[in-house]
Structure 1
């Protein structure tokens, strides 16, 4: 039976593979390769919701500079610098607000057109691999370049600017004379940026156009209420309560409580009550009686 080798008989570092040398105790570890970091093209701007806060700060600093005549020189210089910084922050915040609005507005159009351009690039790439003649290859390369520019246009068109569709509806795809509509101006700019390698800078470009003014809602004119003609006042002088009520019932003027019920039985009861009231009035106009049985 063979005996085990001692630790010293292993051969030392020569028995360890080159890829494992860094794991041997005492050997220095290789220095890590520095990561290639590209400088950030799009600087993070202030959030859109901070516009009102920045405006408030600008207003406070401006009022302090206008009202305080006896400010020390150093305090006045600090306020002026702060005012200039706040104004720059306000411009950046308003630009970010417009950018977020444009992204939300054209998100769906960009997505659908990017899917369509991607399918077209894959289809042309497959045809290019299957082509055999030189003329067909050259024609497919031209179409391939156009499709790649279309795809980059959907991805790297400036986010803070209005997006013009590459694939309009079939009715608006051609001019009046039947020719195809030309590509938008931004398409050629994307093609130029592809050659220069500055597509990311184009995507995050800040628009120089002024922010759109908010829409003013038109106030509706108040509707004219047609006034109902008031009923003519009735002459009720010399009449008792029953007579006045009977006169109102004859003219069709009722109280709010009585007008709610419009059934036939209710109207008959009203007529019957008016008749009974008239009879009682006639009886009251006769000779007075002491209530005796033999009164004539």
Structure 2
């Protein structure tokens, strides 16, 4: 017996080597959706997660319940992010395509509204200077109020047109019957939202219109109420209450002419 041999009585005291467990592949951890991903990257992640959640019938391994829930949440987030990017891309494309048409129509509608406001203020001042207004002037004033309201609807039609729809020109004639019906339907919807006061809610073009210097229309309903209280101030400060004696409508028209002369505005 050699000197290095272990006595049989001590074999039980020697620790046995641990047997290694076979390495099983772990399912990938779900990653949260990131806004920095491109559309191609989002589509790839959606494909990968869809295949992972719907394995073929021959697959032997199944995902744990908690892991499947995490993957389903990540898949839903990726789909939502992809939908937002596609919507934003479509809005930008349509804005770029109809930018010039909408600018010219918006300038035309703004000038028409300014002209009607000047006519209304001039007629109202003439009635205030006389002792009594005849029936003809009242009818003319009512007709101007209706025209002002229609001009406001036209301006808001251009400014708040549905951003995901192809723009239908407001002043173009000779369109098909379906196109004319769609124009009327959208215009009626804009008018309804004006009356409800929900015109600016969820409108993707509001900030862009405000940045270009185009505000909303004038409130015709409050025009009569405010007109009497502003008459005294108008006589002191000018036609529309401007201290320089120049009407606000004239200022808006001058601003439109300045914007129309800016060649850089049309660059796409």
The answer to whether the 8 Å contact 1:48/1:96 transfers is no
Instruction: After superposing the two structures, state which structure 1 stretch, 78-87 or 117-126, moved more.
Output: 78-87
The answer to whether the 8 Å contact 1:62/1:83 transfers is yes
Residues 1:104 and 1:196: Cα distance change in structure 2 (over 3 Å): same
User: How do 1:1-296 and structure 2 match up within 5 A?
Assistant: 50-67=38-55, 69-131=61-123, 132=127, 133-168=137-172, 172=174, 184-201=184-201, 203-204=203-204
Deviations 1:136-190 (A, max 9, x none): 1111111110001101111111111121111115xx3899xxxxx7752100100
> Which 5+ residue runs of structure 2 have no aligned equivalent?
1-33, 128-136, 206-268
> Which 5+ residue runs of structure 1 have no aligned equivalent?
1-45, 176-180, 206-296
**Matches of 2:107 and 2:202 in 1, distance apart?**
21
**Matches of 2:48 and 2:93 in 1, distance apart?**
29
Shift of 1:123: 0.3
**Matches of 2:65 and 2:108 in 1, distance apart?**
63
**Secondary structure, counterpart of 1:190 in structure 2:** helix
**Matches of 1:199 and 1:48 in 2, distance apart?**
32
Aligned residues: 153
Residues 1:49 and 1:101: Cα distance change in structure 2 (over 3 Å): farther
The answer to whether the 8 Å contact 2:154/2:187 transfers is yes
The answer to whether the 8 Å contact 1:47/1:97 transfers is no
Shift of 1:72: 3.0
**Secondary structure, counterpart of 2:165 in structure 1:** coil
Shift of 1:106: 1.6
**Matches of 2:66 and 2:176 in 1, distance apart?**
66
TM-score norm. by structure 2 comes to 0.51
**Matches of 2:44 and 2:87 in 1, distance apart?**
18
Larger Rg over CA atoms = 1
The answer to whether the 8 Å contact 1:160/1:204 transfers is no
- The answer to which structure, 1 or 2, has the higher relative contact order (CA under 8 A, 6+ apart) is 2
Residues 1:71 and 1:52: Cα distance change in structure 2 (over 3 Å): same
The answer to whether the 8 Å contact 1:47/1:96 transfers is no
Residues 1:173 and 1:143: Cα distance change in structure 2 (over 3 Å): farther
**Matches of 2:36 and 2:100 in 1, distance apart?**
22
Structure 1 runs (4+) greater than 4 angstroms displaced: 46-49
The answer to whether the 8 Å contact 1:150/1:166 transfers is yes
Deviations 1:7-49 (A, max 9, x none): xxxxxxxxxxxxxxxxxxxxxxxxxxxxxxxxxxxxxxx9898
Residues 1:96 and 1:134: Cα distance change in structure 2 (over 3 Å): same
TM-score norm. by structure 1 comes to 0.46
